[in-house]
Amino acid sequence: MRFLLDAEQRDFARSLDALLTSCDTPAVVRSWAAGDHGPGLAVWARLAEAGVFALAVPEKHEGFGPLPLELTLAFEALGRHAVPGPLVETVAAAALLDRLGNDRIAADRLPRIASGKSVVSLCPTSLGPYALDADMADAVFVVDGDTLRLAAGTGTVQPSADPARRLSRPSGGTVLAQGPAVAAAAGYAADVAALATAAQSLGVGRTLLARTVEYVTQRTQFGMPIGSFQAVKHRLADTLLALEFAGPLVHGAALALAAGDEGAGADIAAAKVTAGEAAYAAARTALQLHGAVGYTDELDLSLWIRKARPLRDAWGTPAACRARVMGTDR
Amino acid sequence: MDLDFDAADESFRTEVRDWLAAHVPAAPLPSLETAEGFAAHREWEATLSADRWSVVSWPEEFGGRGSSLLHWMIFEEEYYAAGAPGRVSQNGINLLAPTLFENGTAEQRARILPAMARGEVIWAQAWSEPESGSDLASLKSTAVRTEGGWLISGQKTWSSRAAFADRAFGLFRSDPDADRPHRGLTYLMFSLDAEGVTVRPIGRLDGKPAFAELFLDEVFVPDEDVIGEPGQGWRVAMSTTGNERGLTLRSPGRFTAAADRLTALWREHGDPADTALRDRVADAVIGARAYRLFSYAGVSQVLHGDGGPAGAVSSLNKIYWSELDIALHETALDLLGPYGELADHAGESPSGGWAEGYTFSLAGPVYAGTNEIQRDIIAERLLGLPKGRR
């Protein structure tokens, strides 16, 4: 029994972190939010080169997955750096197309996803009418019950709580597949999406904590750093506590998914609600401890603060996750 | 879920499970916080020990099986899942024994550990004093040098198990002139029936008399009962308190078993329309799972990683299990509705131990270093925040 990352996995996470540190992601996020996708797509290409999207694609379609644990490491790094784009949706779509059992569609789409040439969005209507970043995606897949469609139009972008998450309603299009296989593949894809979102939340929370620790160590009030005040310390200790205990849930859920465990869905739901709540609480604490500057748009911290809440609710709200843990979702 | 237990792990688990199935008393023993229950639990320790299950992780020469930390965790999971009795020896096994393994002499280990493993000598902790709770450095009880040993005097209080236990261990100020308050402390052991010891039981919040106050009036402690060097008691004790807050005191098996019982209670009594209560059950179940996985990560780090987790990690553990324990029990009482108020021994109680467990859980954020102190430790040692006034 070894519940620990191995050296290769740690190296992968570290190198991805270094890559993203060199990308000036705050500027990338601001461009993306303004509708200029160029810098974001440049980051996308580098992520593809590092193998991120290939993790969700099986070898026979030119990937080296599916590798759920490595995928969570990648998404934690993506969250740490607030990388914009339909990242979760692309890997979830890959999972869906892989599971669909339609070789023609898979062979057409998956190699392009693995190589980063194709950016894809996915909208299960059971979770709401909006697709993320559909305005720039090469393909927008819509799952409606047991029907899979390739959307024809994407509608107007609706401003979102996180400006870098651009939401619109996909419409029309052609039916690609229909039947129980669609529902099953979509269920698996939703699990992959929830797991990746949980990992992304963890990364968002860790950056919020790190930046806040740095700030309270420098900011002085009443003649001393505010980080020496017990009320401040205790809030940050609780933030670390929540993130530290969410991490193993994400790790354990990834292993369960990789092993094809029957309870993997419930494990993923447990990880999703815990990581989502931890990151959201980290955002609230970060805002509070930064004081008024924490309530400004111009501080880069806002990029993470605004991401935490949508990630908490995307791909499974806390209530839906808790219901799944208790087996009352059916 | 699959955490890749190998065949040896699984066969160990089966061995534990089979033994427990054959030996766990059919009816719960009386509370170990009463004289009658204490005696019954002492017998249970002897039963465990006869087949070397009382201290599985200890070397065989002291009555253990030399099991790895992982097997110890498996043992604990099975133990609590089987509903086996609480451990009356836990102060000795979890607090004193690790200190002896780390800082004791060979003579002390040979003399003390096997008797502890068999439940023949049951130990009480004597850390706290009326003016010293989490701030152990402010201890006032004294140890004065005398021929062949020390004379200890002063008052210890809130001493778990001391009302019925045989012996106790604690810190005493041996050098009042030391330059820093945590220097000049000595760690020693004494008998609760020695001359000069007065034990006054104190009722706990649950009314049980197992707490006690100890009045010490020039109690003789021979040199052989000093652990580590005189004056080094603080350093010696720190190895023990880390154990107390961390894994050994509150192993994950206890919480996963409680979460399973809570889930069963919810299926039996829960109102399907009450999603607020269902969500709290879910959070407790998730919390127990998180604690288990966090612990496995820690054990993996010890067994396969580059060294053990940092000492301050035990502070994360301590806050987490103490708050989880309260959440598990509060939720159970809410599920029981009007029956939640009944004591476990009430004739109409449906309980299954939730009432006593709840009252005991309330002490969790207080003992073993208050959660406020643990949050300071986390902030300063894990997050690197500046020291400030408490």
Query: How far is Cα A122 from Cα A137, in angstroms, rounded to an integer?
Result: 10
Nearest to B129 by CA among B154, B152, B153, B157: B157
Work out the average pLDDT over B135-143: 87
Query: How far is Cα B76 from Cα B266, in angstroms, rounded to an integer?
Result: 24
**CB atoms B294 and A245 under 8 Å:** yes
User: For a pLDDT cut of 70, what percent of chain B falls above it?
Assistant: 95
Cβ neighbors of A36 (< 8 A, separation 6 or more) are none
User: For a pLDDT cut of 70, what percent of chain A falls above it?
Assistant: 100
Nearest CB to A240: which of B2, B293, B383? B383
Name the phi and psi angles at B4, rounded to 5: 60, 55
Distances (CA, A) of B49 to B60, B147, B361: 12, 37, 28
**Per-residue pLDDT, B248:** 57
The two tokens of residue B158 are 């809130």
Residue found by looking up tokens 């402010």 in the block: B138
pLDDT for B178 beyond 90: no
Distances (CA, A) of B224 to A190, B229, B257: 65, 11, 41
The per-residue pLDDT for range B247-296, each reduced to its tens digit, is 555 788 999 999 999 999 999 988 888 999 999 999 999 999 999 999 99
Query: How far is Cα B234 from Cα B185, in angstroms, rounded to an integer?
Result: 6
On whether ipTM exceeds 0.90, the answer is yes
Nearest to A92 by CA among A278, A263, A248, A268: A268
B304 Cα to chain A: minimum distance (Å): 7
Task: Please say whether the beta carbons of B267 and B113 come within 8 A.
Answer: no
**Per-residue pLDDT, B203:** 87
Query: How far is Cα B292 from Cα B77, in angstroms, rounded to an integer?
Result: 10
Q: Where are the alpha helices (DSSP H) in B82-168?
A: 90, 97-103, 106-117
- Hey, what long-range contacts does A19-28 have (CB within 8 A, 24 or more apart)? A19/A46, A19/A47, A19/A50, A20/A77, A20/A78, A20/A80, A20/A81, A20/A83, A21/A81, A23/A81, A25/A81, A25/A82, A25/A83, A26/A82, A26/A300, A26/A303, A28/A83, A28/A84
DSSP letters of A157-208?
A: PBP-SSTTS-EE--B--EEEEESHHHHHHHHHHHHHHHHHHHHHHHHHHHHH
Give per-residue burial for B168-199: e unless 16+ CB within 10 Å, then b: bbbbbbbeeeeeeebbbbbbbbbbbeeeebeb
The per-residue pLDDT for range A266-299, each reduced to its tens digit, is 999 999 999 999 999 999 999 999 999 999 999 9
Nearest CB to A3: which of B278, B291, B293? B293
Q: Inter-axis angle of helices B313-336 and B252-269, to 10 degrees?
A: 20
Which of B294, B372, B382 is the best substitution to test chain A (most A C-beta atoms within 10 A)? Answer: B294
Query: How far is Cα A95 from Cα A61, in angstroms, rounded to an integer?
Result: 12
Query: How far is Cα A178 from Cα A322, in angstroms, rounded to an integer?
Result: 30
pLDDT for B306 beyond 90: no
CA-nearest residue of chain A to B1?
A256
**Per-residue pLDDT, B244:** 52
Query: How far is Cα A206 from Cα A212, in angstroms, rounded to an integer?
Result: 10
What H or E segment, with its residue span, contains residue B123? strand B123-125
Nearest CB to B2: which of A241, A255, A325? A255
Task: Please say whether the beta carbons of B366 and A197 come within 8 A.
Answer: no
Work out the average pLDDT over A112-122: 97
Work out the average pLDDT over A68-86: 98
pLDDT for A187 beyond 50: yes
pLDDT for A223 beyond 50: yes
**Per-residue pLDDT, B263:** 96
Chain mean position to CA A96:
16
Residue found by looking up tokens 């009030």 in the block: A221
**CB atoms A2 and B304 under 8 Å:** yes
Decide: residue A136, CB within 10 A, 0-12 exposed, 13-18 middle, 19+ buried.
middle
Termini Cα distance of chain A: 34
The two tokens of residue A262 are 């029957």
Chain A contact set for B318 (CB, 8 A): none
Greatest CA separation for chain A: 68
**Per-residue pLDDT, B237:** 85
**CB atoms B282 and A326 under 8 Å:** yes
Bin B67: left if φ > 0, else alpha if -120 < ψ < 50, else beta: beta
pLDDT for B160 beyond 60: yes
Task: Please say whether the beta carbons of B212 and B202 come within 8 A.
Answer: yes
Q: Inter-axis angle of helices B275-304 and A318-325, to 10 degrees?
A: 80
B239 Cα to chain A: minimum distance (Å): 22
Cβ neighbors of B37 (< 8 A, separation 6 or more) are B29, B30, B31
Nearest to B192 by CA among B122, B262, B102, B118: B122
**Mean pLDDT across chain B, nearest whole number?**
90
Beta bridge partners of B124: B168
**Catalytic machinery residues of B:** 244
**Per-residue pLDDT, B2:** 47
Which of B293, B322, B377, B381 is the best substitution to test chain A (most A C-beta atoms within 10 A)? Answer: B293
Chain mean position to CA A177:
26
Q: Where are the alpha helices (DSSP H) in chain B?
A: 7-23, 35-50, 69-81, 90, 97-103, 106-117, 233-245, 252-269, 275-304, 313-336, 354-361, 371-377
Please report the beta strands in chain A, taking only residues with DSSP state E, as ranges in sequence order.
Answer: 120-124, 131-132, 139-144, 147-150, 167-168, 174-178, 220-221, 224-225
pLDDT for B240 beyond 90: no
Which of B262, B281, B375 is the best substitution to test chain A (most A C-beta atoms within 10 A)? Answer: B375
> Which amino acid does the sequence have at B209?
P
Q: Where are the alpha helices (DSSP H) in A34-67?
A: 38-49
Query: How far is Cα A255 from Cα A263, in angstroms, rounded to an integer?
Result: 11
Task: Please say whether the beta carbons of A55 and A64 come within 8 A.
Answer: yes
Beta bridge partners of B151: B144, B220
**Per-residue pLDDT, B212:** 92
pLDDT for B335 beyond 60: yes
The pLDDT-based confidence of A179 (bands split at 50, 70, 90) is very high
Query: How far is Cα A36 from Cα B22, in angstroms, rounded to an integer?
Result: 70
